[in-house]
Amino acid sequence: MAPAFDISLDSLRARSVAAPNAAERGASDASAPTGGTFFLETFGCQMNDHDSEKVAGVLLSRGYQQVDSPDSASLILYNTCSIREKAAQKVFSRLGEYRTRQRDGQIIGVLGCLAQQEGEEIFERAPWVSLVCGSASYRKLPELLAELEAGNRRVTGLDTDTDETFETEITRRDNPWRAYLTIIEGCDKSCAYCVVPYTRGPERSRASASILSEVRQLADLGYSEVQLLGQTVNSYADPSKSRVRFSDLLLTVADVPGIRRVRFTTSHPRDFTPDIVTAIESQPKLCNHVHLPVQSGSDRVLAAMQRSYSRDEYLDKVAVIRGAKRPISITTDIIVGFPGETESEFEQTLGLLDAVRYEGVFSFKYSPRPNTASLAMSETVSEEEKGRRLAALQERQRRIQAEHNATFLGESFELMVSGKSRRENQWSGHTTCNRVLNFASQSRELLGTYVQVRVTNVGPSSLVGEHVA
C-alpha cells in the first residue's frame, strides 16, 4: 500500500504573507479587523483550492485568524463544488452536521459553485446558513460579513459578470513551493453536461502584466513552481494592449528569475494550438505535461456533448504533442454513460485509450445537472451500466499505466519534493510530467527542494525510488 504523505499545516503556514497595516488596507476598508476566527473547508478542483487561498487572504488581511477546527471558529465557510450531483450532496450533508452551530453564535457560509448554482435556495434547504457567496464576489466578503455583524440575518454575493476575481491584496497559499495562479476565469464553451458556465460566468482573462507581476512576487517569496489555472486555460485572451498569446505568456512566466517549473491546466482541445507545444519544446522550465480532456471517443457523443471537436481533430492535437522533441505526458477526463451513449460508442472511447495511451485518466459517470442542456435529454444508460462502463474503462487504463510504469524501472527523474511521510526517511515529489514518486532518503530536510530519484520499484499506479546523491 502507498504510504500516507502529509504536510503539516504549520509548515504550510510558514510562508504566509504578513497582513498589511491599516494604511495599506486603505480607506475603502468596509470592515475593521474583527478579531474573529474562521474555519475554511474546500471541496472540488484546483481552482476552488486556489479560490480558498484568496478567501483566506482576504479574511486574514481583515484581522481574522484561521483555525484548524470548526469548533473554535466564529465563522465556518464551505467552498463548494457542484460539478456532479454527488459533490453537491456531500456539501448538503456536511452542512447538516453544522445545523446546531448557528444557535451557538457561529456563522455558517457557503461559497463557490454550489452557492452560485443554488443561490438563496440554500437558505431554504439549510436555514442555519447566513452567507451565500459565489466566486466572483469574494472580494466583497468583508462587506458581507460586516452586514452580518450589523444584524442582517442573511446576505448573498452572487454576481458572475465581474473581473474582480483575480486581484486580492493577499493570497494565503497552502503550498509554500508550488503556487496556483488563475489567469482566466469562467467559461464560454457550452458543453451540454457542464454547470461551470453557469456557476463561474463568462470567460474573463487577467491582464498579462498583472500575471507577471504576481509571478515575480511569488519568485521573490521563494516559490519555484507556478501553476497557471483556468477552466480553459489555453483560451486565455490578454485583455491588455499587448495582447500576449497564451504560449508567449508561458515563455515569459518561465523567464522570471527563480521560477524553475511552470504548469498549466486545464487545456481545451479546440484551442490547443501547435505553438503551445513549440513553447514547451523550446523552454525546459515548461513542464512536460498537458491535461487535455477528451470526454468521449465517439464523434456522435462529442457532438451531443457540444465539445466542438471530432475524434480525429482531437487525435491530430495528440499527434503534435507526441511528436514533440521531448516526451510530454498527456492526461485526460472522460465521462461514461452520457445520454444516448451506446455500447459501441463506449467501445470507441476504450479504443481511444489504446490510441492515445494516456499517462493518466480521470473518469466519471455522467451526472445530470441543473442549468445544463443535457438535463433535457433522457437518460438511456442505467446507473448500474454506467458503473460497469466506468470499471471497464479504469481497468483498460490501469493496464496502459502499468505498461508505461514498467518502462521507468531504473530511470532517474528530477523531483520537486512536496511531501514527507510519517514513516521515517520516506518522501514524495512530482516529476516534470506530474508523476508522483515515493522515495527513500536519509536527508534530514528535503521539502521544497529538487532532487534526482532513481525508480527502484513499479506498480500499476505507483512508482517507488531512491534518492541519488
Interface ranges with ligand SAM (CB under 6 A): 45, 83-84, 193-194, 196, 231-232, 266, 268, 293, 295, 333, 335, 364, 366-367, 369
> Of these, 75, 196, 215, 352, which contacts ligand SF4 (CB under 6 A)?
196
The yes or no reply on residue 191 touching ligand SF4 (CB under 6 A) is yes
Q: How far is the CB of 300 from ligand SAM (least distance, A)?
A: 18
| Residue in the block written with cell 481545451 | 268
CA within 13 Å, CB half, 289 = 22
The yes or no reply on residue 270 touching ligand SF4 (CB under 6 A) is no
Judge contact between 160 and 136, C-beta under 8 A. yes
| Pair type for strands 75-80 and 107-111 | parallel
Residue number with CB closer to ligand SF4 (194 or 287) = 194
Residue number with CB closer to ligand SF4 (49 or 281) = 49
| Residue in the block written with cell 474546500 | 42
Helices and strands (H and E) in the chain: how many: 15, 20
Locate all alpha helices (DSSP H) within 201-256, ordered by sequence: 208-220, 246-254
Give strand pairing partners of 264: 228
What span, in angstroms and rounded, lies between the C-alpha atoms of 284 and 150? Answer: 54
Residue number with CB closer to ligand SF4 (191 or 253) = 191
83 binds, among ligand SAM, ligand SF4, none (CB under 5 to 8 A by kind): ligand SAM
Q: How far is the CB of 268 from ligand SF4 (least distance, A)?
A: 5
- Amino acid at position 335, single letter: I
The yes or no reply on residue 301 touching ligand SF4 (CB under 6 A) is no
The candidate with the shortest Cα–Cα distance to 301, out of 381, 227, 240, 362, is 381
Locate all alpha helices (DSSP H) within 329-372, ordered by sequence: 343-356
Residue number with CB closer to ligand SAM (31 or 266) = 266
197 binds, among ligand SF4, ligand SAM, none (CB under 5 to 8 A by kind): ligand SF4
What does the chain come to in residues? 469
Q: How far is the CB of 403 from ligand SAM (least distance, A)?
A: 24
Q: How far is the CB of 376 from ligand SF4 (least distance, A)?
A: 16
366 binds, among ligand SF4, ligand SAM, none (CB under 5 to 8 A by kind): ligand SAM
> Of these, 81, 133, 194, 464, which contacts ligand SF4 (CB under 6 A)?
194
Q: How far is the CB of 84 from ligand SF4 (least distance, A)?
A: 12
Stretch that binds ligand SF4, among 125-133, 191-199, 314-322, 447-455 (CB under 6 A): 191-199
Torsion angles phi and psi, residue 358, rounded to 5 = -60, 150
The yes or no reply on residue 268 touching ligand SF4 (CB under 6 A) is yes
45 binds, among ligand SF4, ligand SAM, none (CB under 5 to 8 A by kind): ligand SAM
Q: Is 121 exposed, middle or buried (0-12, 13-18, 19+ CB in 10 A)?
A: exposed
Judge contact between 92 and 126, C-beta under 8 A. yes
Residue number with CB closer to ligand SF4 (200 or 289) = 200
| Pair type for strands 178-182 and 225-229 | parallel
Q: Is 392 exposed, middle or buried (0-12, 13-18, 19+ CB in 10 A)?
A: middle
> Of these, 88, 187, 233, 280, which contacts ligand SF4 (CB under 6 A)?
187
367 binds, among ligand SAM, ligand SF4, none (CB under 5 to 8 A by kind): ligand SAM
CA 168, 114, 230, 289: dihedral to nearest 10 degrees?
120
The yes or no reply on residue 232 touching ligand SF4 (CB under 6 A) is yes
The yes or no reply on residue 331 touching ligand SF4 (CB under 6 A) is no
Residue number with CB closer to ligand SF4 (320 or 373) = 373
Cell of 244: 500576449
Cβ neighbours of 311 (radius 10 Å): 20
The yes or no reply on residue 197 touching ligand SF4 (CB under 6 A) is yes
Judge contact between 101 and 72, C-beta under 8 A. no
Residue number with CB closer to ligand SF4 (80 or 232) = 232
Interface residues toward ligand SF4, by CB under 6 A: 187, 189, 191, 194, 196-197, 231-232, 268
